[in-house]
Amino acid sequence: MKVKMKQLAKIFTTALVLIFIFAGLAYTNPVSADVEPGVNDEQQPVYVAELEGAVTAGQNTFLHRQVEKAREVDAQLFILVLNTPGGLVDATLKMNELFLNAEMPIAVLVAPSGAIAGSAGAFILVSSDIAAMAPGTTVGAAQPVAISPEGTQETDEKTVQFYSAHLRSMAREQGRPEDLAEKFVTENLTLNAREALEEGMIEYLAGSVSELMDELDGTEIEKQGVTYALNTANAEIQRDEMTLSERLQNWVSDPQISFLVLMAGFLGIYFGLSAPGTIVPEVSGLILLILGIYGLGLFDTNTTGIVLILLGAGLIAAEIFTSGFGILGIGGAASLAAGAILLPMEPLMASDWYTTFLITVVGTVLGLLLIVLVVAQRVIQSRRTYTGGSTYFKPPEKGVAAEDLKPEGMIRARGELWKARSEDGSTIPAGSEVEIVRAETLKLWVRPLQEKQPHSDHKSE
């Protein structure tokens, strides 16, 4: 038995009502924001963040939020513990801009021992107000490369000259040797911690954050015409972890992951177009394609979040008005959830509103999944109870010729008109009763109805 449209409408209506109730509860009982740690009036805190692995859009979003949070708690110093082999150029340049214009001193510590500040890491270290490295660490090899499906390759001379000049400009601004900074790009120069200290590329040799704080205690840093007196010995250290949105951005924007996601998206769409009607490859491929484009940096985070939310809404609408068998609904829910996670919190938007928005999206996704599960359960149940079809789909046993069968024509049976053909090719007059011999698709083979005679071949006892 098929699920009727009225039943589906009732299911959708009930689920939507539950969603709106849940959303209403979320708005009337917002989750309270994290309480900022108290700041000692005598000694301002030091804010610490870590960047480990590839420099990605997610890492950039995380650092921007951390610097903003450090400013809110009136931190006297922001320390970034760095260990990276390199990463995306766009994210790196945004970090440079953030560090150069931050309204507080920014320190970068390459740590622990054995860590590196390769490629993009060299740009980040040079742009800092205070540069430090742990013993046994390395910085440099910052020549840009182009990433393609075939692998990595050197960029053209024009690109090399541009980024070498940019790194040289930042080194001059921060009072570091310009020629060495330029060689990081043009000659892939690398320096270990002691060499970097001797050449003036860094100011301190420190094995940990606490050791660097002890070294900086009592020093003064001048930045943008403002002098900052550091009182960091035994200062309170504050730090935060990546949010779910930042983790997703960090994962998708990893160069290796983004190419895999992009290729998976293309393959999904290709297989979907090769086998129309499967729906699953097309939906999943479209979502992966958008995430892959974002990972390559062609979409910013705002655009990607909005596109995914609109795609999710479109897929959900398609599920309601077409027979998507639940696949469109699941894809729409996944796209909606990914878009909500990627959509960044705007500076002028209250954090309570953003938390409530996420709760609403989660409620919507759960409601849609509930709908899909109910519909799927009904379909499975109807398939299990199907035992050959109802009498409506069985051919009739007898009928009346609605017209002359010569040898084909129409007969009337069960109040319906059926296409019929005389079994032996003879003509059957209109109005004659016929019996159905067999059925081929929707065509019946008939013969004139004969009164059944009693069997005469029974043996007498």
Residue 224's CATH number:
3.90.226.10
Under the banding of pLDDT at 50, 70 and 90, the label for residue 44 is very high
- The last residue of a domain, from among 202, 235, 268: 235
Under the banding of pLDDT at 50, 70 and 90, the label for residue 196 is very high
User: In this structure, are 171 and 271 located in the same domain?
Assistant: no
156 is a domain residue:
yes
Q: How far apart are CA 264 and CA 281, in angstroms?
A: 10
456 is a domain residue:
no
Q: pLDDT tens-digit profile of 120-151?
A: 999 999 999 999 999 999 999 998 876 555 55
Q: Does residue 112 have a cis peptide bond before it, meaning omega lies within 30 degrees of 0?
A: yes
User: In this structure, are 209 and 337 located in the same domain?
Assistant: no
Under the banding of pLDDT at 50, 70 and 90, the label for residue 17 is very low
Judged against a pLDDT cut of 70, whether residue 457 lies above it is answered with no
Question: What pLDDT score does 278 carry?
Answer: 67
Q: How far apart are CA 81 and CA 109, in angstroms?
A: 5
- Top-ranked range on mean pLDDT: pick from 103-117, 148-162, 357-371: 103-117
User: In this structure, are 249 and 317 located in the same domain?
Assistant: yes
Judged against a pLDDT cut of 80, whether residue 90 lies above it is answered with yes
- The last residue of a domain, from among 235, 254, 289: 235
- The last residue of a domain, from among 235, 264, 287: 235
Q: pLDDT tens-digit profile of 95-126?
A: 999 999 999 999 999 999 999 999 999 999 99
Q: Tell me, letter by letter, the H, E, C secondary structure of the chain.
A: CCCCHHHHHHHHHHHHHHHHHHHHHHHHCCCCCCCCCCCCCCCCCEEEEEEECCECHHHHHHHHHHHHHHHHCCCCEEEEEEEECCECHHHHHHHHHHHHHCCCCEEEEECCCCCEEECHHHHHHHCCCEEEECCCCEEECCCCEEEECCEEEECCHHHHHHHHHHHHHHHHHCCCCHHHHHHHHHCCCEEEHHHHHHHCCCCEECCCHHHHHHHHCCCEEEECCEEEECCCCCCCEECCCCCHHHHHHHHHCCHHHHHHHHHHHHHHHHHHHHCCCCCHHHHHHHHHHHHHHHHCCCCCHHHHHHHHHHHHHHHHHHHHHCCCCCHHHHHHHHHHHHHHHHCCCCCCCCHHHHHHHHHHHHHHHHHHHHHHHHHHHHHHHHHHCCCCCCHHHCCCCEEEECCCECCEEEEEECCEEEEEEECCCCCECCCCEEEEEEEECCEEEEEECCCCCCCCCCCCC
**Where is pLDDT greater, at 270 or 422?**
422
Domain around 174: 46-235
Question: What pLDDT score does 245 carry?
Answer: 74
User: In this structure, are 193 and 149 located in the same domain?
Assistant: yes
Mean pLDDT of 316-343: 69
Q: pLDDT tens-digit profile of 300-310?
A: 666 777 777 77
Question: What pLDDT score does 253 carry?
Answer: 78
458 is a domain residue:
no
Q: How far apart are CA 419 and CA 99, in angstroms?
A: 82
Under the banding of pLDDT at 50, 70 and 90, the label for residue 440 is confident
21 is a domain residue:
yes
Instruction: List residues bridging with 419 in a β-sheet.
Output: 410, 443
Instruction: List residues bridging with 116 in a β-sheet.
Output: 138
User: In this structure, are 370 and 418 located in the same domain?
Assistant: no
Report the number of distinct structural domains present in the chain: 3
Mean pLDDT of 285-303: 74
Q: pLDDT tens-digit profile of 265-285?
A: 888 887 777 776 667 778 888
Give the global pTM. Answer: 0.61
- Top-ranked range on mean pLDDT: pick from 177-191, 242-256, 289-303, 324-338: 177-191
Question: What pLDDT score does 156 carry?
Answer: 82
- The type of residue at 166 is H
Q: How far apart are CA 160 and CA 357, in angstroms?
A: 44
User: In this structure, are 55 and 135 located in the same domain?
Assistant: yes
- For the chain, give the percent of residues with pLDDT over 90: 41
Q: Is 303 exposed, middle or buried (0-12, 13-18, 19+ CB in 10 A)?
A: middle
